[in-house]
C-alpha cells in the first residue's frame, strides 16, 4: 500500500526530499502497528508550495494513539492535536513541522485502504493517468486555493460534496482502487 511512497524515492526533487524526511522521522517504523500509509498530493505530484505530508493510520484505541503521538512528536515545532468526528467516526489528527515539512498524521477506526484520503488519491492518480493534461489543470486550481478534491470535481463537472462526489465518480468510472 506504500508503493507510491516508494516511488517518491526516485521522484521529483520535493518527493525525494519528503521521502528522506519521512525516513528521518521514523514514523512508518514507530507506528507500524497502525498500518501507516503516505497519502495526499506529494506522492502523486499535485503538491503546491504549502502542501503537507499526510500519513493515515488505522486506529481503534484513540486514547492510546493520542498518547503515543504526544510522546513521539509533542516536542516538535507547531505540534497540535485535534479530536473530532468525521462521518460518525472518531478521528485523531496531529500536525507538526519536521525538517522543513508540515506533517499531518490522521487516525481513524477504518482500514487505511478504505479511508477517503487513500481512495481519493488512487482515483486522482488514475484520472491523471487516463488524462495527463488534467494534472496541470488541477495544479492551476490548487494554486488558486482549491482543495484537491474540489479541483477535480470542478474540472469534471461533479456537483455537491467534492469528497463524496469524487468517490462516486471513481466507482462509476470503475477506476482502480
For residue range 3-19, list pLDDT tens digits in order. 888 899 999 999 999 99
Whole-structure pTM value = 0.92
Q: What is the pLDDT of residues 86-118, one digit of tens each?
A: 888 899 999 999 999 999 999 999 999 999 999
Q: State residue 175's pLDDT score.
A: 67
Give the pLDDT band of residue 177 (cuts 50, 70, 90).
very low
For residues 1 and 70, the model is more confident at: 70
Please state the rounded mean pLDDT for residues 46-69.
95
Give the pLDDT band of residue 171 (cuts 50, 70, 90).
confident
Share of the chain above pLDDT 90, in %: 86
Q: What is the pLDDT of residues 147-167, one digit of tens each?
A: 999 999 999 999 999 989 999
Q: State residue 1's pLDDT score.
A: 62
Where do the structural domains in the chain lie, given as residue ranges? Answer: 3-112, 117-172
The least confident of 82-91, 132-141, 142-151 is: 82-91
Answer whether residue 176 shows pLDDT above 70: no
Query: Domain 3-112 belongs to what topology?
Result: Beta Polymerase; domain 2 (3.30.460)
Q: State residue 87's pLDDT score.
A: 80
Give the pLDDT band of residue 38 (cuts 50, 70, 90).
very high
The set of residues, in sequence order, having a beta carbon less than 8 Å from that of 43 and lying 6+ positions away, is 4, 5, 7, 8, 15, 121
Amino acid at each position: 500500500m506504500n508503493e507510491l511512497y516508494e516511488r517518491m524515492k526516485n521522484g521529483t526533487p520535493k518527493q525525494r526530499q519528503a521521502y528522506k524526511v519521512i525516513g528521518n522521522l521514523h514514523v512508518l517504523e514507530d507506528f507500524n502497528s497502525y498500518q501507516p500509509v503516505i497519502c495526499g498530493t506529494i506522492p502523486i505530484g499535485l503538491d503546491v508550495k504549502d502542501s503537507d505530508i499526510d500519513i493515515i493510520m488505522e486506529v481503534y484505541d484513540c486514547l492510546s494513539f493520542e498518547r503515543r503521538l504526544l510522546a513521539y512528536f509533542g516536542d516538535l515545532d507547531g505540534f497540535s492535536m485535534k479530536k473530532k468526528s468525521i462521518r460518525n467516526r472518531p478521528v485523531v489528527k496531529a500536525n507538526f513541522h519536521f525538517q522543513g515539512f508540515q506533517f499531518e498524521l490522521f487516525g481513524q477506526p477504518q482500514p487505511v485502504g478504505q479511508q477517503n484520503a487513500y481512495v481519493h488519491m488512487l482515483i486522482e492518480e488514475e484520472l491523471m493517468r487516463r488524462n495527463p493534461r488534467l494534472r496541470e489543470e488541477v495544479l492551476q486550481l490548487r494554486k488558486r486555493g482549491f482543495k484537491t478534491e474540489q479541483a477535480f470535481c470542478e474540472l469534471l463537472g461533479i456537483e455537491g460534496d467534492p469528497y463524496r462526489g469524487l468517490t462516486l465518480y471513481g466507482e462509476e468510472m470503475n477506476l482502480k482502487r
